[in-house]
Amino acid sequence: MYCKKCGKELEDGAEFCPGCGASLVESNLTYRKQSSKGWDAGRVIAVIFGGFMILVGLPLAFAGTALMGVTSTMDDGSGYIGVRGFDFETGTQALVFKEMYVEDVVIDRVPGSVGRYWVPKPSDFIKMKFTLKSNNGKEVFVGIIDEAHALSYIGSARYEAVTEFKMEDPFDRSPYIAYRLHSGEKITVDPLSVNIWEAYATGEEVALEWEPEGGRYWVVIMNSDLSPGVDVDAGLGVRAPFLNFIGKGILVGGAVCLAIGVLIVYVGVVRRD
């Protein structure tokens, strides 16, 4: 053995070098990681911000899943979401759903070159389908007419108007329906002989699809032969293509918020430990 400092030869068991006096005993050093000082500002911020993102993400993910589930459950197989099979009847010649108001989509200007080719309208966002099935074996007529033409056609006629329709839930088969009798004269003009309808259909079982425009409309249901006693099972469906995209967008947004929140908490708290 030799001294690491001066190189002098050493005797076995020597604790000091006889040449330079350096200690020949190597001490065992123990290294200890500095202990954490508790919850510093970084951890607190990570928990607050990460927790906020998680709290935002959870309801968004739930809402997106719920919206997609509802649209899927209530889809009639052709893309329309709605209800059907509700019994409406009257002893008069006509059954009327009054003042269905379709508000115009007003956009002053679509930015860029798109505005020169596309001016938004209600039918770009929503389509409607009315389904009817006769309960008395008679062929029925259903038509959609703007309020001004409706007043000129049956404004002075005797008919019943549906004034209230209440459902406890989407699967309620016995909703509350209120009617109001409008006194007047007998309808004598065949509805198919006048060109005043926005859309119409006839038959014992019909499905009338309509792309609405802005305005006030009535839905008129009659027997095609103008006989009194209208009795039908009716339904209404709405096709709103953007609903599915909204549901998916909300779900994806919620999932992203959840992922970001979990990552922040993990890196800011768990990983630092």
Please classify residue 99 by burial: count the beta carbons closer than 10 Å to its beta carbon, then call 0-12 exposed, 13-18 middle and 19+ buried: exposed
Is the residue at 4 inside a domain?
Answer: no
User: How many structural domains does the chain have?
Assistant: 1
Is the residue at 16 inside a domain?
Answer: no
Per-residue model confidence as pLDDT tens digits over 32-86: 655 555 566 777 777 787 788 888 888 888 787 776 666 666 666 666 776 777 8
Query: What is d(CA 119, CA 139) in angstroms, rounded to the nearest whole number?
Result: 39
Query: What is d(CA 206, CA 225) in angstroms, rounded to the nearest whole number?
Result: 16
Is the residue at 44 inside a domain?
Answer: no
Is the residue at 191 inside a domain?
Answer: yes
Query: What is d(CA 146, CA 104) in angstroms, rounded to the nearest whole number?
Result: 14
What integer is the mean pLDDT of 247-263? Answer: 83
Q: Which of 77-86, 114-123, 130-139, 251-260 has the lowest mean pLDDT?
A: 114-123
Is the residue at 49 inside a domain?
Answer: no
Listed in sequence order, the residues at least 6 apart from 39 whose beta carbon sits closer than 8 Å to its beta carbon are: none
Per-residue model confidence as pLDDT tens digits over 146-200: 999 999 999 899 999 998 888 776 566 677 889 999 999 999 999 999 999 999 9
Is the residue at 36 inside a domain?
Answer: no
Q: What is the CATH number of the domain that holds 145?
A: 2.60.120
Is the residue at 260 inside a domain?
Answer: no
Query: What is d(CA 218, CA 196) in angstroms, rounded to the nearest whole number?
Result: 12
For residue 44, what are its two tokens? 């607190």
The residue range of the domain holding 96 is 80-105+123-238
Is the residue at 13 inside a domain?
Answer: no
